[in-house]
Structure 1
Amino acid sequence: MPPHRPVTPAQRDLDRAIRAAIRADGRIGHALAYGSFTQGTADAFSDLEYYVFLSPAELPGFDVRAWLEGVAPVRHFVLNDFGTPNAVMDGLIRVELHAEPETALLGVEGWPNWHMNPAAMLVKDRDGRLAAHLAALRAKDQPQPEDEAQLIHDRLLNWLVFGLNVLERGERVRALELLGWVRGGLLRLARLAEGSTEHWLTASRRAEWELSQGTLERYALLTGRLDELEGLYAEAWHWMQELTERVLGLRGASPELAREVGGRLGGLQRRR
């Protein structure tokens, strides 16, 4: 296990300040925190993450950056790849703050309900609706990773074929990028094969301490240079086939598709 770096006073102070500012802001009717701070697993490197819900009339005038600046200095601010406002505060503390209309409250019940603690999550609830939605979410049956196994496999196979096609076209940089999606799918299948699904939603989290040394070594074989891609894709294909046999009930690629993938890989390697 890695040495534990406990949550810092700066993180705790910032979390308290943000929560207090949320409660004091009359425009915000409902708010919650999420992530490791609400799950009891935060450390010195953890983000602070929140959702605030406002009336549709108030939402357009709510400037997330300006609001955070009113709490503490913002050293960097950006809308991330998914459209979420992200800020970097002093001490390299990252803050995610989603601002949503109150009409989106019901959508909370559709969130993943892994490791959730409604008491730690609830920050503000003007009329009790958010508490009710969190309770309903917690009461739902938790999805089982095994139920996703076939979808994970099928998506992985799709990414692998996509990567092979662009590799043969000669787009090696793009093929290397697509290999990242292939690695992600293989990591999830490896977690299923080993029965290590504690961090299923983010399969790479704590992988160094939750997966076997053999799996980590196999994963490392999928990292390399642009001029090694033929071998990397071949290794990914072989590992995928092995994991397919190890995960109970998993249906692999059709024989016809398997022959085509094998032939494509063989042709690529012969031409190197």
Structure 2
Amino acid sequence: MNLDRHTQLDARLRDATRADSRITHALAYGSFTQGTADEFSDLEYWLYLEPDAEFDVHKWLEKLTPVLHGVVNEFGAFNAILSGLLRVELHAVPNTSLGELESWGNEHLFPERMLVKDADGRLAAALEKLTAKPPPQPEAQATLDRLLNWLTFGLNVLARGERIRAHGLLWWIQGGLLTLAAVKSGHAEYLQSPARLAERRLDAETLSRYTGVTGGVDDLEQVYANAMAWTLELAESLGLTVNAELAGDLQERARVGGSP
């Protein structure tokens, strides 16, 4: 595994950040700061600016490396694609947003690797406070409750004949199932991103069950039947609560080839 390119670009980005007076605070995050990066990983940063600063994040990055494609994603962050499909994610926000760090999760947090620039010590203090928070706990019942909602939604639109829509809703169902399966296995290290490193964390049986809740648009009756069955099995094995009438309705609707 060769991370020389990531390491060199990270160093240039950190140097440029420290040299730019418009940026008062900056931190890196993601797999590169967690020690789990590989050659396919992104580089990710938050840049906190003087409130009235004019800052074009695209032009700023292009001074450091050629950008093949740049776009503001659905969550307001600038994403750049460099040669070789290396992605860089940059959030550029006023430093009045530093207080929002309090709401971050603290999974795999390494302040000494994350801290890039701190003009007044506020960022270091915020990261220290964040690391002192109790680690996130699996909220299995809440996860199941959301999963039951998405499963019902998907089964209803499938029964209506909206197969493409039902296929898209599987993303939410799969995420809920992966989270509960990880909790059951004791490998719930990535509660905020349950698919991350799933192949390394989860056992062969769980991965096989997951395969059964994937498939194409033509496979949805079987996929949803598998998802429903796995949901109820996980709920029982984890001692979670499912309304009995709801469970019966789901089983009825999810019968392969069934109709509402």
TM-score (norm 1): 0.92
**What is the distance in 1 between the residues matched to 2:25 and 2:34?**
20
Q: Residue 50 of structure 1 contacts residue 97 of structure 1 at CA under 8 Å; is this kept in 2?
A: yes
Amino acid at match of 2:49: L
Equivalent runs, 1:52-201 vs 2, <5 Å: 52-58=47-53, 61-145=54-138, 148-201=139-192
State the distance in 2 between where 1:265 and 1:110 align.
Answer: 38
Aligned-pair identity in percent equals 54
Instruction: Tell me the secondary structure at the aligned position of residue 254 of structure 2.
Output: helix
Q: Distance in 2 between matches of 1:37 and 1:233?
A: 36
Structure 2 CA distance, aligned partners of 1:236 and 1:121?
Answer: 38
From 244, 257, 260, the equivalent of 1:269 is 257
Aligned length: 260
Gaps of 5+ in 1: none
5+ residue gaps, structure 2: none
Matched, 1:245 2:236: yes
- Cα deviation per residue 1:91-117 (whole Å; 9 max; x = unaligned)? 321100001111111111221111111
Deviation at 1:199, TM superposition (A): 2.5
Instruction: Tell me the SS of whatever aligns to 1:133.
Output: helix
CA contact (8 A) 2:107 2:190 kept: no
**Structure 1 match to 2:214:** 223
Query: In the TM superposition, what whole-angstrom CA distance separates every residue of 1:14-63 from its partner, at most 9, and x where no partner exists?
Result: 100000000010100111111111112222111111001112211xx211
Contact 1:17 1:71 in 2 (8 A): yes
Residue type of the partner of 1:182?
I
Q: TM-score when scaled to structure 2? A: 0.96
State the alpha-carbon separation in 2 of the partners of residues 137 and 197 from structure 1.
20
Aligned match for 2:44, one of 1, 26, 49: 49
- 2:121 and 2:12 map into 1 onto residues whose CA distance is 23
CA offsets 1:205-246 (integer angstroms, 9 cap, x no match): 111121111111111111222222111111100000111112
AA in 2 matched with 1:56: P
The 1-side partners of 2:86 and 2:21 are apart by 26
Between the aligned partners of 1:205 and 1:229, the Cα distance in structure 2 is 24
Contact 2:232 2:247 in 1 (8 A): no
Q: Is the 8 A contact 1:6 1:42 kept in 2?
A: no
Contact 1:35 1:48 in 2 (8 A): yes
Q: Following the alignment from structure 1 to structure 2, what is the Cα–Cα distance between the partners of residues 214 and 116? A: 30
Q: 1 CA distance for matches of 2:217 and 2:192? A: 29
RMSD, aligned α-carbons: 1.5
Amino acid at match of 2:240: L
Moved more, 217-226 or 167-176: 217-226
